[in-house]
Structure 1
Amino acid sequence: MLDIDTKFLRSFLSVASERSFSKAANRSACSQATMSQRIRQLEQMLDVTLFQRAYHDVILTTAGIEMMPLAQAIVDKHDTLVGRMRGSQVIGSVRLGIAEDYVLPMLSRLLTTVQTSHPGIELSIVSGLSHHLAQQIDARTLDVAVVTLPTPRRNSHILSEPRLRWVGQPDHQYPHARPWPLALFPEGCAFRAAAVTQLTAQAIPFREALVSSSGQVIQSAVLAGTAVSVMAEGTIPNALSEIQKIAGLPNLPKTCIQIIERGRGLTQAGQTIRNLLIQCF
């Protein structure tokens, strides 16, 4: 009878989530060589190829996709067993996705609470665009994510439904005779889609002055007065201000800040992180 150590399954899940052996190794506090060796051993034990290895990417094979929910279920059951046998302490690993807009105010509170009150939870965090995080939830490479999407997803927990606002440098004079310079996230961002849709609908000229996946880079461009951007009410930094009312820019729709989770339920550790997110928001 073949016995598989859960460290091999955790390594498989880490590589599948990160799509990188080096990133998975950093997350698991081991060398890249060790991570690669674990995956090779797992593939040899099961007599399958789990990943297609490209120069810049690691992609699950058909066998790897089939194995994902099975491996996750085994790891979840293992962590639940250990937690119950040890008493009331919650034990387990949780993969959390969080949109960059909420990283700074929320993340420090969450990490402090987990470290002091739930040391048995191993938390791995990915920051990115909401659209991409939602895709990872659907692919089960993330357990829980805090995202901003145009509408609520099924079975999500809604944290807030703020209106989107145009923001700019408070003292800068933006001339109306030229196309509006925009600082935006890349394609797939709900804020970007709302801005482009409304400007196009009202035939207001604009240009993309900056496109970046970093919220801090976008804020720097706006603070310098080189562009305007779109943010949700409640997330606008003190150094920036709403400019919609004085600039004649079109109204923007509401958005939905929500917690989404992978299908087939969460472990006790996952449920704990979800509840802490609600408290920390």
Structure 2
Amino acid sequence: MIQLPLDLDAVRNFVMIAELGSFTRVAEATRTSQSTVSLKLKRLEERLGARLVERTPRYVGLSPQGAAFIPHARALLDTHDQALSSLSEARGRLTIGISDHVAGPELPSLIARMNAQDPHLLIEIRIGSSGDLLQRFDRRELDTVIVRRHDGRDDGTVLADERFCWIASHAWQPRAGTPLPVATMPEPCGVRVLAGKLLDEAGIPWTEVFSGGGVAAVSAAVMAGLGVAALAPRMVPLGSVDIGPRLGLPDLPSLPIVLHSRTRDERAHAAVEALSMAYRVVLRS
């Protein structure tokens, strides 16, 4: 029987390896080195007397012992975090604005991660355009925003640069002699303005065939075969293709994703740090 207590930091490191499937991503998320991640795992394995992770140059996965241990590891961390949260009498509040071009399909899991870290922190999330969210942040209506870099501003912390490209459904075909059909979000969406400017400068005729109130609506229009859209690849479902090279469309730049925050409360700051580190991993993967 194991007598000495486990190192919770090493257990948390193991759970992150299992969730992210990469020593590199864990190192980025925790702002440490791959060697540190490997060392923590090695010490935990030595402590348990079992190999938890199987690792090759192209694969990182759980061993049978690791698969058996992972639910207990998560339960141990949950109990620890709940014990710490129970000491806080006041329920904190954190209001976060996330650009529709940033939120993405990973948002539910990222919210769950923040809630697991501090279940007693009330988190409010607002989705909107980068420009609108920045204005609300400046009016102190939001504590934190994660947005695409806005023209004329150089403040905030860059989390990563995200690649954009011209997306169309796999079955979509252009019609000769007609303007390029483009699905967009309405102005003042900065990505819409940029895409239109690049097409105009390249002398490519285009027409707006769909205006959606969010990236999900624009993606749906693309997958329905209405036309093309300037989107980040992670935002669209399977069955879409980058059609820019085939049509000779102008290259879309990688756009900086920026964090603006004024959180002072320790709990809120920790939640923002967890969210920003998770986004760094998502945006760079």
Q: Determine the structure 2 residue equivalent to 1:278.
A: 276
1:268 to 252, 266, 271: 266
Q: Determine the structure 2 residue equivalent to 1:188.
A: 188
Amino acid paired to 1:277: L
Decide whether the 8 Å contact of 2:100 with 2:128 is kept in 1.
Answer: yes
Decide whether the 8 Å contact of 1:92 with 1:120 is kept in 2.
Answer: yes
How far 1:92 moved relative to its partner? 1.4
How far 1:200 moved relative to its partner? 1.1
TM-score, normalisation: structure 2: 0.62
- Choose 151-160 or 214-223, whichever is displaced more: 151-160
Map 1:10-29 to 2 at 5 A: none
Deviations 1:44-96 (A, max 9, x none): xxxxxxxxxxxxxxxxxxxxxxxxxxxxxxxxxxxxxxxx9x85789511111
How far 1:267 moved relative to its partner? 2.3
Structure 2 unaligned blocks of 5 or more? 1-83, 280-285
User: Tell me, what secondary structure is at the counterpart of 1:137?
Assistant: helix
Q: Determine the structure 1 residue equivalent to 2:144.
A: 144
Q: Aligned pairs, how many?
A: 196
Map 1:130-169 to 2 at 5 A: 130-149=130-149, 153-169=153-169
Amino acid paired to 2:209: A
How far 1:171 moved relative to its partner? 2.3
Inter-CA distance 269–188: structure 2 relative to 1 (3 Å threshold):
farther
Q: Determine the structure 1 residue equivalent to 2:209.
A: 209
Inter-CA distance 90–183: structure 2 relative to 1 (3 Å threshold):
farther
Decide whether the 8 Å contact of 1:184 with 1:210 is kept in 2.
Answer: yes
TM-score, normalisation: structure 1: 0.63
User: Tell me, what secondary structure is at the counterpart of 2:119?
Assistant: coil
How far 1:233 moved relative to its partner? 4.7
Map 1:51-200 to 2 at 5 A: 87=87, 91-149=91-149, 153-200=153-200
Inter-CA distance 245–130: structure 2 relative to 1 (3 Å threshold):
same
Map 1:239-278 to 2 at 5 A: 239-262=239-262, 265-278=263-276
Structure 1 unaligned blocks of 5 or more? 1-83
Decide whether the 8 Å contact of 2:118 with 2:271 is kept in 1.
Answer: no
RMSD: 2.6
> What's the % identity of the aligned pairs?
26
Amino acid paired to 1:221: A
Amino acid paired to 1:134: L
- The whole-number CA distance in structure 2 between the counterparts of 1:176 and 1:169 is 18
Amino acid paired to 2:265: T
- The whole-number CA distance in structure 1 between the counterparts of 2:235 and 2:151 is 18
- The whole-number CA distance in structure 2 between the counterparts of 1:269 and 1:153 is 28
